[in-house]
Structure 1
């Protein structure tokens, strides 16, 4: 087990080192640095799934990360990550969401749903911010949070692809996958649009994972019944 944990920890070190290296050559775009960390760290859920790391390890790591991120709002522990130019608890919610999803799906032997939630948050939300800031021409606001239609479309497309690929890998090629992925993509987009205080880092992963799980169960059971 310790070797598996060491591999997972090594990935985190690689992500942080990559972000630091990029920051040395690109100090004018702090959002890029944040998204490297945001997207990179999300892959820890895939590593934990593939290596079959015990759920308790993920839960403890989530608790520790949550405490550190809360302290970082008081002390400059993670200045490059928490400094987003607006009031946000996004980093804290990110850590909490990983712990919640591991606790929910690891012990039910269905880690693929935790992977769906975290990967949609990592790639969907991460790319949406980069696309929206660099190419977003058509803006809209929800609860004071400014978004772009280009960024939201990115969330939809990325969420659909991620959900489809993970369900294909875990469930096989069944027709329910395409329906579920479509619903998950639309829900993730809606949840990502409501992002005050960084709450989307909690609602997107838990919401997308939850709806994927319940829809697969419902549609599969309905198909068996018929």
Structure 2
């Protein structure tokens, strides 16, 4: 395993690169929502780097809490517009950082890391692609708690969540009917949570809810005794 300080260096370089690219996009007048989605996806994918590097729990949790602090300060002082440059009042980026920290705190152990990875990646890819599809291709709209949604976006959320869950559950449990059922269940719940969550709170409810469900399915149903 790589020394913790080398882990910190690699994670720090990755985060610095993401923020630098995001600021470059913002400075070149890239649409705020597209810049924010870039940050959303790139930041979430850091969990794969942490998994590959076998980053220790203290290091991972430390970066998660640092991310929380940076997002809160950015809302107050606007020094990183790419983090919060969304055209509506939302604390979604902070909730995203908080969810990463919570999942690392609860599941970043040798036999449970897959749960944290799944929860974070469902949100990383599902929410981002759902938003982009909904904004660009959405034609069938509906409202939940006064918030406009699109059927195309919701279906994209479910489909992407299914693919992410299928790949990760398949790696853990093998490829069979139970894997498809588990991935489908996670996808439906993730999409439902995204629909009923407003004000950016889906960045908290979707990853945490998906991870809790994955933990139950993997270690109580699909992998009993582990």
**Contact kept? 1:177, 1:216, Cα under 8 Å:** no
**1:63 and 1:95 in contact (8 A); partners too:** yes
CA distance in 1, matches of 2:141, 2:186: 23
Q: CA deviation at 1:28?
A: 5.0
Equivalent in the alignment of 1:94: 96
Give 1:59's match in structure 2, choosing from 61, 72, 82.
61
Post-superposition, which runs of at least 4 consecutive aligned residues in structure 1 deviate over 3 A?
20-25
CA contact (8 A) 1:138 1:150 kept: yes
**1:170-181 correspondence to structure 2 within 5 Å:** 170-181=172-183
Task: Name the SS of the counterpart of 2:191 in structure 1.
Answer: helix
Q: Bigger CA drift: 209-218 or 9-18?
A: 9-18
1:12 matches 2:8: no
- Aligned equivalents of 2:60, 2:8: Cα separation in 1: 10
Determine helix, strand or coil for the equivalent of 1:74.
Answer: helix
* Structure 1 contact 176–216 (Cα < 8 Å) conserved: no
Report the alpha carbon displacement of residue 56 of structure 1 after superposing the two structures with TM. 1.2
Say whether 1:139 aligns with 2:141. yes
Shift of 1:163: 0.6
- 1:27-66 correspondence to structure 2 within 5 Å: 27=29, 29-66=31-68
1:185 equivalent among 184, 187, 212: 187
Deviations 1:189-211 (A, max 9, x none): 01111232210000000111111
Distance in 2 between the 1:211 and 1:35 partners? 25
- Equivalence for 2:166: 164
**TM-score after normalising by structure 1:** 0.91
1:2 maps to 5
Q: Give the distance between the partners of 2:199 and 2:78, measured in 1 at CA.
A: 19
Q: Which runs of 5+ in 1 are unaligned?
A: none
Instruction: Mark the runs of 5 or more structure 2 residues left unpaired by the alignment.
Output: none
Q: In structure 2, do the counterparts of structure 1 residues 118 and 221 end up closer, same or farther at CA, with 3 Å as the change threshold?
A: closer
Deviations 1:7-56 (A, max 9, x none): 2222222322333343455x252111110000011011111111111111
Q: CA RMSD in A?
A: 1.8
2-side partners of 1:219 and 1:174: how far apart?
Answer: 14
Do 2:173 and 2:222's aligned partners in 1 also have CA atoms closer than 8 Å?
no
2:198 corresponds in structure 1 to 196
The question of whether the paired residues in 1 share the 8 Å contact of 2:33 and 2:87 is answered with no
**Cα distance, 1:174 vs. partner?**
4.2
Aligned length: 222
Name the SS for the 1:141 alignment partner.
Answer: strand
